[in-house]
Amino acid sequence: MRVAFIGVGHMGLPMCANLLKAGHAVTAYDLVAAHLDRAVAAGAARATSVADCVAQAEAVVTMLPSSPHVRSVYCGESGVIARAARGALLVDCSTIDPQVAREVAFDSLARGLTMVDAPVSGGTAGAQAGTLTFMVGGSAKEFEAARPLLACMGTNVVHCGASGNGQVAKICNNMMLAAGMIATSEAMTLAARLGMDPTVFAGIVNASSGRCWSSDTYNPYPGVMEGVPAARGYSGGFGTDLMLKDLSLATEAARVARVPVLLGAVAQQVYQKHSADGHGAEDFSSVILQYLKT
Ligand code: NAD
């Protein structure tokens, strides 16, 4: 397929490379010249604008920071919706506000374009390995149209329901993950402070009812597990600022839907403080430093 790829940053670049590896003809565009240069070095053709990028494309994939960037790339006179060829498939893989995803999909449909939201989990490692999970929002027909392309970049492509539901799955999962990571951090720190060996405590938790992904796969306490960010000074992994962004999307969506998310709101504030304390670029499990340091 002729694919336009817009936003070749940390995630977009390796995703674009996997589309090229699968034999697609990719034209890339990014506001940052150095990012676009890397995509061109990987084999993509260079576009000079969004309009130029999408003009000949049968499918458009976007991987942008957040809702305002998606609006600006898709909407307006020179945006994807106005400039894409009729019948083109539009796939936004950015994590954004579900309501914005629905609005952009609605505008696309009004111009006869097929659009799905397809945010991902799996991080940069999954993007490189082509093992991402895609959470897809759109009709069954739109999902089937997008599936083959997404399968070139991921191993798990899940239909979440109507437009926007991919974003719903993504932000609700991450809200749970953040609360679980904070709870694990508190319990690990308290047990250690009360005199327990943290590794023995983690072993008990992981065979008991307190077990969760943050305790058994990604334990934040230094020295308890190998190969996790806690074992390397919290470098790599999923950044605190990305988690903060997802929590802010979740609490804002909850406000609009008038659903109380007490733990989600606390988690958002804990991560906001953690970021303000200078840990924004560290892995999100570094939130345990808020407790270990006290
Ligand atoms: P990034 O900032 O590295 O990449 C975004 C790219 O979009 C940048 O190259 C930027 O220059 C480009 N861009 C911004 N505005 C643009 C515009 N108007 N036109 C063209 N290009 C534009 O971000 P990332 O880490 O690749 O994340 C992308 C998305 O994926 C985000 O929504 C993020 O929440 C989500 N996500 C990231 C991870 C991760 O581990 N990094 C994991 C899961 C989901």
- The string of pLDDT tens digits covering residues 233-278 is 999 889 999 999 999 999 999 999 999 999 999 999 999 999 999 9
Q: Which residues are known catalytic residues?
A: 170
Per 3-state DSSP, what percentage of the chain is helix, strand, and coil (rounded to 5)? Answer: 55, 15, 30
Same domain flag for 194 and 233: yes
Find out whether 11 and 93 touch, Cβ atoms under 8 Å: yes
User: How many Å lie between the centroid of ligand 1 and the Cα of residue 65?
Assistant: 4
* Residue 12 pLDDT class (50, 70, 90 cuts): very high
**Where is the domain boundary, 147, 162, 177?**
162
Same domain flag for 131 and 39: yes
Output the residue whose Cα is nearest ligand 1's atom 34: 95
**Where is the domain boundary, 107, 133, 162?**
162
Same domain flag for 70 and 214: no
Flag whether pLDDT at 69 surpasses 90: yes
Q: What pLDDT, on the 0 to 100 scale, is given for residue 70?
A: 98
Does the beta carbon of 39 lie inside 6 Å of ligand 1?
no
Output the residue whose Cα is nearest ligand 1's atom 44: 120
Which atom number of ligand 1 is nearest to the Cα of residue 32?
Answer: 11
Same domain flag for 66 and 109: yes
Q: Could you tell me the CATH number of the domain that includes residue 254?
A: 1.10.1040.10
User: How many Å lie between the centroid of ligand 1 and the Cα of residue 72?
Assistant: 14
User: How many Å lie between the centroid of ligand 1 and the Cα of residue 244?
Assistant: 15
Same domain flag for 143 and 6: yes
Which atom number of ligand 1 is nearest to the Cα of residue 123?
Answer: 40
Same domain flag for 149 and 233: no
pLDDT digits (tens, 9 = 90+) for 94-134: 999 999 999 999 999 999 999 999 999 998 989 999 999 99
Question: How far from 266 is each of 151, 175, 178, 247, 260, CA to CA, in Å?
Answer: 36, 10, 10, 10, 12
Q: What pLDDT, on the 0 to 100 scale, is given for residue 107?
A: 96
pLDDT digits (tens, 9 = 90+) for 155-207: 999 999 999 999 999 999 999 999 999 999 999 999 999 999 999 999 999 99
Same domain flag for 203 and 275: yes
Same domain flag for 9 and 139: yes
Q: Could you tell me the CATH number of the domain that includes residue 30?
A: 3.40.50.720
Range of the domain at 132: 2-162
pTM: predicted TM-score of the whole model, two decimal places = 0.95
Same domain flag for 131 and 61: yes
Same domain flag for 175 and 201: yes
Flag whether pLDDT at 148 surpasses 90: yes
Number of folded domains in the chain?
Answer: 2
Q: What residue type is 99 in one-letter code?
A: Q
Find out whether 254 and 260 touch, Cβ atoms under 8 Å: yes
Question: How far from 127 is each of 2, 110, 163, 166, CA to CA, in Å?
Answer: 20, 32, 23, 17
Q: What pLDDT, on the 0 to 100 scale, is given for residue 236?
A: 87
Same domain flag for 231 and 283: yes
Same domain flag for 149 and 243: no
Output the residue whose Cα is nearest ligand 1's atom 40: 123
Find out whether 130 and 152 touch, Cβ atoms under 8 Å: yes
**Where is the domain boundary, 129, 162, 195?**
162
